[in-house]
């Protein structure tokens, strides 16, 4: 198409094409392993996120590109799964902001909207990791902004963007050593490139149809990179109206002071209005800091967003359930896989279990449904997986009238230990502090099988070996499952260890788990061992040491 401007109708077809292209190639994206374990799903997460956004457009009869982009943004927000899916949703959220109020968009406007998307995505990630989807998005957007005057059509612009994405993608191993070590490019960046290739083909008149693909794959996948080492769990958000008679407000200075109080920081100034979001254990200090510059227009400890009512309205076609119970003080949500682990968490006081894990990441909407069903004043979420934390945080940010705290648990042992520390008679701040601290006091181990030959951290790994993972590092790879489990616990237990919990999963029997417990008790004095049948997929053993 020799278009110098595009409207919502053209953009809609671009999105559908992009979503289908990624869906058709999501299995390949999954196979761009960083860890050679069968528990990753970057391609699946991005595809399900993009498909959720595209579905919102299918029946939309709208010609304004600003309005279509906004609907897409909401669909992606609700459907976001995993870190890669959340980042993808933020890229298009910023893109929509850049096109707000526009019926058509010019070459220049598209270029700067892409840049707006990158800025929004970077703000969503406290500790951005270069060599990932963020780098591919940023470098291609920078090229668009720098070179848009050299192209004549929208098609030319997207050709330029796709080319730069591929160049940037090819450089990701140079920026992220773990990618170079295993000889792959970043999967998130590859997924984004496939989306934009679909956009470009739509502009050239090519229609990409959806092939028959499964929603999930366990054959070969990547453990997504952890992009957010969250240490603070109390979410504070407010809108401040600046007062000229008070201390002058400087955005960078204010952000720097907030960084001393917490993380997940967003500071956005629009003339005399400042919107602030921060995760901190001391929200009072953040409020005191802000009040030096003006008065609060709106204030919400944990959750507030202006888009919430519109987003929830998307699902209003379902009849509302009548209120049958009084609102309770606390509700706890955990994400787990395996009936045994589910029962374990429920027995410890978890009120709502979302079934999921590394190979089945819940969406933002899944969390919102759980929050709504619990009918509690304060919600505590235990994601129990590093790739689920961002989606949980996103759900917290779009929830009004309820305090939602995300405890950044990255493993089942961390989540369970944190859950044990919950006190229904304590305040939200006290529970947040104690539960967050608890996750730092447990070691997490997992035994699973390798899906390909590779070498990582000096460990030679062969396909079908049983590998032992201590926190994030592979520490052993041997053909025998029991030998792998023994070697792993030897790496985990030290002179300060007191409690070892063994959770055995599908394909592992109780006799072997008992044998492992006997091995530990015979070798380590004064260590108490407990065994559970977790019935979890993928992982033969999940082991915690406290």
**Which CATH fold topology does 443-545 show?**
Hypothetical Protein Tm841; Chain: A;domain 3 (3.30.1180)
Distances (CA, A) of 28 to 32, 42, 182, 219, 481: 7, 10, 16, 11, 28
Residue 63 has what pLDDT? Answer: 94
Which tens digits make up the pLDDT trace of 20-35? 999 999 989 988 866 5
Which tens digits make up the pLDDT trace of 273-284? 776 767 777 778
Residue 322 has what pLDDT? Answer: 38
Residue 323 has what pLDDT? Answer: 39
Residue 42 has what pLDDT? Answer: 86
Nearest partner of 277 among 242, 305, 310, 241, judged by Cα: 305
| Residue with the larger pLDDT of the pair 19 and 217 | 19
What is the percent of the chain with per-residue pLDDT over 70, rounded to a whole number?
86
Q: Is the pLDDT of residue 303 over 70?
A: no
Alpha carbon distance 315, 281 (integer Å): 33
pTM of the predicted model, to two decimals? Answer: 0.69
What element of type H or E holds 501? strand 499-504
In CATH, the number for domain 5-204 is 1.25.40.340
Which tens digits make up the pLDDT trace of 308-357? 333 233 333 343 333 345 789 999 999 999 999 999 999 999 999 998 87
Residue 223 has what pLDDT? Answer: 25
Distances (CA, A) of 326 to 301, 322, 330: 22, 12, 12
Residue 232 has what pLDDT? Answer: 46
Alpha carbon distance 531, 309 (integer Å): 46
Distances (CA, A) of 540 to 102, 322, 509, 520: 53, 43, 9, 17
CB burial class (10 A; 0-12, 13-18, 19+) of residue 350? buried
Q: Is the pLDDT of residue 193 over 80?
A: yes
Nearest partner of 353 among 331, 375, 327, 328, judged by Cα: 331
| Range from 142-151, 222-231, 392-401 carrying the lowest mean pLDDT | 222-231
Residue 277 has what pLDDT? Answer: 67
Residue 356 has what pLDDT? Answer: 83
The listed range with the strongest mean pLDDT (54-63, 106-115, 241-250, 302-311) is 106-115
> Would you list the domain boundaries of the chain?
5-204, 234-304, 328-441, 443-545
At residue 106, φ and ψ (nearest 5 deg) are -85, 175
Nearest partner of 312 among 77, 89, 53, judged by Cα: 77
Which tens digits make up the pLDDT trace of 71-127? 999 899 888 888 888 899 999 999 999 999 999 999 999 999 999 999 999 988 877
Which tens digits make up the pLDDT trace of 201-231? 999 999 999 885 443 333 332 222 222 333 4
**Which CATH fold topology does 328-441 show?**
Rossmann fold (3.40.50)
> What is the torsional sign of CA 43, 32, 91, 379?
positive
| Confidence band, pLDDT 50/70/90 cuts, at residue 268 | low
Which DSSP letter does residue 244 get? Answer: T
Residue 207 has what pLDDT? Answer: 92
- The gap from C-alpha 393 to its chain's centroid, in whole angstroms, comes to 8
| Confidence band, pLDDT 50/70/90 cuts, at residue 266 | low
Residue 446 has what pLDDT? Answer: 95
What element of type H or E holds 19? helix 8-30
| Confidence band, pLDDT 50/70/90 cuts, at residue 503 | very high
CATH of the domain spanning 234-304, picked from 3.30.870.10, 3.30.70.260, 3.40.50.720, 3.20.20.140: 3.30.70.260
Q: What does the pLDDT average to over 40-53?
A: 88
């Amino acid at each position: 198409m020799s278009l110098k401007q595009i409207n919502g109708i053209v953009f809609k077809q671009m999105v559908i094409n992009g979503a289908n292209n990624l869906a058709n190639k999501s299995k390949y994206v999954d196979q761009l392993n960083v860890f050679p374990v069968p528990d990753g799903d970057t391609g699946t997460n991005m595809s399900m996120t993009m498909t959720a956004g595209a579905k919102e457009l299918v029946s939309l009869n709208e010609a304004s590109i600003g309005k279509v982009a906004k609907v897409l943004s909401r669909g992606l927000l609700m459907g976001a799964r995993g870190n890669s899916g959340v980042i993808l949703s933020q890229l298009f959220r910023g893109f929509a902001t850049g096109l707000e109020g526009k019926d058509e968009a010019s070459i220049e406007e598209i270029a700067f909207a892409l840049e707006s998307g990158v800025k929004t995505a970077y703000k969503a990630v406290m500790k951005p990791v270069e060599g990932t989807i963020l780098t591919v998005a940023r470098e291609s957007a920078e090229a668009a902004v720098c070179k848009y005057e050299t192209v004549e059509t929208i098609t030319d612009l997207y050709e330029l963007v796709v080319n730069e994405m591929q160049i940037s993608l090819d450089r990701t191993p140079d920026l992220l050593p773990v990618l170079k070590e295993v000889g792959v490019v970043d999967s998130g960046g590859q997924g984004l490139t496939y989306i934009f290739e679909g956009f470009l083909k739509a502009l050239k008149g090519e229609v990409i149809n959806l092939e028959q693909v499964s929603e999930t794959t366990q054959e070969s996948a990547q453990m997504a990179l952890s992009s957010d080492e969250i240490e603070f769990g109390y979410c504070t958000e407010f809108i401040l109206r600046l007062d000229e008679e008070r201390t002058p407000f400087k955005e960078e200075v204010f952000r720097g002071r907030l960084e001393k109080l917490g993380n997940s920081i967003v500071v956005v100034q629009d003339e005399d209005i400042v919107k602030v979001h921060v995760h901190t254990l001391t929200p009072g200090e953040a409020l005191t800091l802000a009040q030096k510059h003006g008065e609060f227009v709106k204030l919400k400890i944990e959750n507030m967003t202006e888009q919430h009512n519109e987003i929830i309205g998307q699902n209003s076609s379902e009849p509302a359930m009548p209120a049958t119970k009084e609102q309770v003080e606390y509700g706890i949500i955990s994400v787990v896989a395996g009936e045994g682990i589910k029962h374990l968490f429920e027995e410890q006081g978890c009120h709502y279990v979302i079934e999921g894990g590394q190979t089945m990441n819940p969406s933002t909407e899944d969390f919102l449904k759980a929050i709504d069903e619990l009918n509690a004043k304060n919600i505590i979420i235990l994601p129990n997986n590093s790739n689920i934390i961002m989606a949980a945080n996103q759900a917290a940010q779009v929830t009004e009238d309820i305090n939602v705290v995300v405890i950044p648990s990255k493993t089942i042992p961390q989540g369970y230990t944190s859950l044990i520390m919950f006190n229904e008679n304590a305040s939200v701040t006290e529970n947040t502090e104690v539960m967050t601290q608890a996750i730092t006091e447990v070691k997490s181990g997992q035994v699973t099988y390798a899906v390909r030959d590779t070498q990582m951290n000096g460990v030679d790994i062969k396909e079908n070996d049983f590998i032992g993972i201590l926190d994030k590092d592979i520490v052993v790879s041997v053909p025998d499952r029991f030998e792998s489990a023994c070697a792993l616990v030897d790496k985990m237990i030290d002179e300060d260890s007191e409690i070892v919990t063994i959770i055995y999963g599908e394909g592992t029997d109780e006799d072997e788990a008992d044998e492992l417990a006997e091995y530990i008790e015979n070798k380590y004095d004064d260590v108490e061992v407990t065994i559970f049948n977790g019935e979890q997929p993928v992982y033969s053993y999940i082991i915690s040491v406290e």
